Amino acid sequence: MRPTKKQRQMHLSDTIKENPFITDEELAERFGVSVQTIRLDRMELSIPELRERIKHVAEKTFEDEVKSLPIEEVIGEIIDIDLDRNAISIFDVKADHVFKRNRIARGHHLFAQANSLAVAVINDELALTAKSQIRFTRPVKEGERVIAKAKVTDIHKERTIVEVNSYVGGEKVFAGEFEMYRSNDTEKDDGQ
């Protein structure tokens, strides 16, 4: 027996509160209704679309934490960050991010997402990319969502190494290692 509209909307609201990053498509599948029905339910409940929910959560949660650049300068949307440890961002590939003839994302967008996440994870007022090694492992297409995961692997005086791996649906599409310059001493040398 299908739940009533009121029951579905109540469960929908609870589901989005638990996971504000769930897509309308995932909700439609979960509740066995069309994407349009989910959109109408969200409108009736005054729940914004995914992009607005992500932006709201990111701005509210991370704008006081990220020191190295303004949150609006990060390419993609930060959904989790623990300074000098790790961070996660998402980037939805749109028509203006791809080559027109084959609908494949331009590499500089994936690099920019990874690089800006590597900058954002640094717990310093100044963080600049000194060097990077990157590898694209498969093309990303229009309409795909890229999840970038940054992990700080080493912190030295004035330098931090950040690994960033990006995924589409669990498949790695980009790997990078960024050597980041930072302005302050985070590691004190004995006697120096």
Tokens at 95, concatenated? 């028509």
Instruction: Count the domains in the chain.
Output: 2
The reply to whether 41 falls in a domain is yes
Residue 117 clears pLDDT 70, i.e. is over it: yes
Tens digits of residue pLDDT in 73-91: 778 888 888 889 999 999 9
The reply to whether 132 falls in a domain is yes
Residue 161 clears pLDDT 60, i.e. is over it: yes
Is residue 74 located within the same domain as residue 133? yes
Tell me the mean pLDDT in the region 108-137: 93
Residues of the domain holding 36: 5-47
**109: helix, strand or coil:** helix
Residue 168 clears pLDDT 90, i.e. is over it: yes
Is residue 92 located within the same domain as residue 178? yes
The reply to whether 56 falls in a domain is no
Q: How confident is the model at residue 18 (pLDDT cuts 50, 70, 90)?
A: confident
Residue 189 clears pLDDT 70, i.e. is over it: no
Q: What is the pLDDT of residue 60?
A: 54
Residue 148 clears pLDDT 60, i.e. is over it: yes
Residue 20 clears pLDDT 60, i.e. is over it: yes
The reply to whether 54 falls in a domain is no
Residue 123 clears pLDDT 70, i.e. is over it: yes
The strands making up 77-82's β-sheet, listed across from edge to edge, are 77-82, 86-92, 145-156, 159-168, 171-182, 127-136
Residue 182 clears pLDDT 90, i.e. is over it: no
Q: How confident is the model at residue 64 (pLDDT cuts 50, 70, 90)?
A: low
Q: What is the pLDDT of residue 66?
A: 62
Tokens 């005086």 correspond to what residue?
157
Q: What is the CATH number of the domain that holds 161?
A: 3.10.129.10
Q: What is the CATH number of the domain that holds 40?
A: 1.10.10.10
Look over the chain and give the mean of its residue pLDDT values, rounded to a whole number: 85
Is residue 17 located within the same domain as residue 105? no
Q: What is the pLDDT of residue 79?
A: 81
Q: What is the pLDDT of residue 104?
A: 97
Q: What is the pLDDT of residue 116?
A: 93
Is residue 172 located within the same domain as residue 104? yes
Tokens 């590898």 correspond to what residue?
135
Q: What is the pLDDT of residue 187?
A: 45
Residue 190 clears pLDDT 50, i.e. is over it: no
Q: How confident is the model at residue 185 (pLDDT cuts 50, 70, 90)?
A: very low
Strands (E), 28-158: 77-82, 86-92, 127-136, 145-156
Q: What angle do CA 169, 30, 146 make, to 5 degrees?
A: 20
